[in-house]
Structure 1
Amino acid sequence: MSTIYLIRHGQASAKSENYDCLSALGEEQSQLLAPHLKSCVGNLKIIVRGDMQRHLQTAAHFENLLETGSAEIRINPGWNEYDHQDILAAYNPQLRTPAGIKAYLEANKLTKKEFKSVFLDAMKQWLDGNSSTTYAESWIQFKARVLSSFEDIRLNGNGDIVVFTSGGPISLITSHLLGLPHEKFMNINWSLVNAGVTKILVNSKTGHCTLSSLNEHSIFDVESTRNRITYT
């Protein structure tokens, strides 16, 4: 039996032009997660991370607690997030950049909460793939690369594997293991907390996977740290 831990990155810098960077709170979340994760992992064999900056930054706090050479470190862009800015731009060109989104909110007098419906409409268009809109990466392409990356580690034999990734890949793999239709993808994606842990058990002989826990974040869900729970 082996265990795969899928870790969502800490809070990104949603208010910055460079989204792909942990915010100060994201760094704090990652620091809190690291010792907790180390205590959970038994026979650590491999650490995998996407090549996005927020994956590296989140993983660094965990890796710093380990003895040098105690686990193989792999970088695989197959674990990267979907390009939400490209998806929004395909829906409405004005939404390509954070500055454009801000201007759109102001012009339409929308709150950030109300903008959620716009984002979900853009995601639905991407997921359905029924329009003539072209994307840098389609839903089908995204699905293929993430599941291929998951297959790369699924049959690694005995030993625990920790993967630092984003909400999209975690939601896709969860949907895949539960046999959910793609329409349910965003239901999971929208609920994942930053620095949350999803645990998958793998039968080393058959390769069969069982979703053991989803979005576990008990270290944040106590009075002293509950204000550090975020979803971006």
Structure 2
Amino acid sequence: MHIHLIRHGQANASGMNYDQLTDKGRQQARKLGQRFRENGLEFKLFARGSLVRHMETLDGILEGMQMLESPVSIPANGRESPNTDRNTSAPGDSIQTEESGSSVIVLEKPGLNEVDPAAWKSIAEEIASTDPTFSSILGHLKNSEGSGRRRRLAAVTGRVLDFWIRGQSPDFLEFRTAVLESLKEIASKPGSGPALVVSSGTPMAIAIAEALGQSNPESIYHWLRQLSNTSYSILDISSRWKALQINSLDHLPMAQRSLM
């Protein structure tokens, strides 16, 4: 199966709650959906992680494709996921599209989430215990806002993920397995055809490295640093994984592009 693997739109790195899209991030998602619609792309299956930024990105894409009415998520356990913040009047496991009345399945896969915030914090504190410069940046991050916070968060996150990925700890290896198994499960859906999947930078970097046959820490971290918000990569996930397209941003002008 061909999977369009998409990184979420720009998240709120300038504020205290990162797990939500900025106005720019929502616009990025809508632009991507519009481009898919203009190109006549049709997806038989939609999937995403369970983070708010994944949900909001998929909503924006569907809005751009003129398919958004009332998303209902089907989590990994196969039962409908209640969401009191949404008008989920459509029953079951589908999104009813206003344009054609057709439906597509939306799967929620926690295995496509970014590293857990508690694990992120633990790794950051471990690094800070032996690196005074990093410790200072981490301390300033806790009380900063605006562009200064975005810069510090980018620096800290880069160091944390580099440390975690290159360390090949049991936690990271378990995380990698969950990412790959989630994508295999999506690809195995019978008769589902091409799929659109919204995830985050680290899971995407793992998947791309796997498809390139370069699933080593250096390759994973390399791709993690390259992936822009709402960039999409096309992977052929079958008996042998292949990367058909990586980190495409043809839907966004330069001024609307972002890494964090």
Q: TM-score, normalised by structure 1?
A: 0.79
Letter in 2 for 1:140: L
Q: 1:197 to 1:110 in 2, by over 3 A?
A: closer
Residue 141 of structure 2, aligned match among 69, 83, 102: 102
State the AA in 1 paired with 2:114.
E
1:127 maps to 2:165: yes
> Which whole-Å CA distance do the structure 2 matches of 1:41 and 1:150 have between them?
24
1:74: Cα distance to partner? 1.0
Instruction: Map Cα deviations across residues 1-24 of structure 1 (whole Å, 9 max, x no partner).
Output: x32100111000001111000011
TM-aligned CA deviation for residue 156 of structure 1: 3.1
- How far apart are the structure 2 equivalents of 1:86 and 1:47? 28
Where does residue 109 of structure 2 map in the other structure?
76
Query: Can you list the C-alpha shifts for 1:7-44, whole angstroms capped at 9, x where unaligned?
Result: 11100000111100001111111111111123446442
Counting matched residue pairs gives 214
Give 1:73 deviation, angstroms.
1.1
Question: Structure 1: any 5+ residue segments left out of the alignment?
Answer: 132-136
| Equivalent in the alignment of 1:134 | none
Query: Do structure 1's residue 198 and structure 2's residue 228 form an aligned pair?
Result: no
Verify the 8 A CA contact 2:30 2:62 in the aligned structure 1: no
Q: For the structure 1 residues 44 and 123, does the alpha-carbon distance in structure 2 shift closer, same or farther, using more than 3 Å as the test?
A: closer
- Could you say which residue in structure 1 is the equivalent of 2:49? 50
Code of the aligned partner of 1:227? A
Q: Within 1, Cα distance between the matches of 2:106 and 2:149?
A: 43
C-alpha offsets along residues 158-217 of structure 1, whole Å, 9 cap, x if unaligned?
5110001111111000111112212221111111110111001346xxx33321100000
The alignment status of 1:183 with 2:218, answered yes or no, reads yes
User: Match of 2:256?
Assistant: 228
2:3 paired with 1:4: yes
The correspondence of residues 113-124 of structure 1 with structure 2, limited to 5 A, is 116=155, 119-124=157-162
**Secondary structure at 2:221 match in 1:** helix
Residue 174 of structure 1 is aligned with which of 202, 205, 208? 208
Amino acid at match of 1:146: V
Q: Structure 1 residues 126 and 202 mapped into 2: Cα distance closer, same or farther (>3 Å)?
A: closer
In structure 2, C-alpha distance between the alignment counterparts of 1:210 and 1:188, rounded to whole Å: 15
Counterpart of 1:182 in structure 2: which amino acid? P
CA distance in 2, matches of 1:72, 1:103: 39
Q: Write the distance in 1 (CA, Å) between the matches of 2:44 and 2:168.
A: 42
CA distance in 2, matches of 1:212, 1:130: 27
Residues 151-166 of structure 1 mapped to structure 2, 5 A cutoff: 151-157=184-190, 159-166=193-200
C-alpha change, 1:178 and 1:39, in structure 2 (3 Å) is same
> What displacement does 1:111 show?
10
Question: Offset at 1:113?
Answer: 7.5
Shift of 1:69: 4.0
Q: 1-side partners of 2:114 and 2:165: how far apart? A: 14
Q: CA deviation at 1:83?
A: 3.0
The residue type paired with residue 90 of structure 1 is I
TM-score by length of 2: 0.71
Change over 3 Å in CA distance of 1:138–1:201 after alignment to 2? same
Conserved 8 A contact 1:38-1:62: no
When residues 40 and 170 of structure 1 are mapped into structure 2, their CA distance, relative to the original with a 3 A threshold, is farther
Calculate percent identity across the aligned residue pairs. 23
Provide the aligned C-alpha RMSD in A. Answer: 3.2
Give the secondary structure class of the aligned counterpart of 2:19: coil
Q: Equivalent residue of 1:14, what SS?
A: coil
1:209 corresponds to: 241
